[in-house]
Amino acid sequence: MDKNQPNGGLWIIEDLEWKETDDKTETDNISVACNLPQTELIPIFKSMHYCKVLSPFRALEYIYVDSQYAFGGYQAQQESIIDEEESVIKFLAQ
């Protein structure tokens, strides 16, 4: 889905938007586009199309990292790391 902006200045400052479903199983990316018509006053901008896209790296980062937070994936691992550190500290203190 694209959100059209009327000029390049608004296109530059606008960020990609994320919309998740309530159960956090699906995510939609709303891109920002700027479509300039053939009747544009400045000749170099006639019929230009600008669109912000999601990089493959950011998509993989969401799949492997960010999506795990919705279901407590990294929270449980963080707690186990803290438990291991406490047990090592207790062992060294004895």
Average pLDDT over residues 8-17: 85
Task: Say which DSSP state 74 is in.
Answer: H
Q: Each residue of 18-47: pLDDT tens digit? A: 888 888 788 888 888 888 888 888 888 888
How much is the pLDDT for 91? Answer: 47
DSSP result, 43-69? GGGTT-EEE----HHHHHHIIIIIHHH
SS3 14: coil
Task: Say which DSSP state 82 is in.
Answer: H
| pLDDT value at 90 more than 70 | no
How much is the pLDDT for 93? Answer: 55
8 Å CB contact between 23 and 53: no
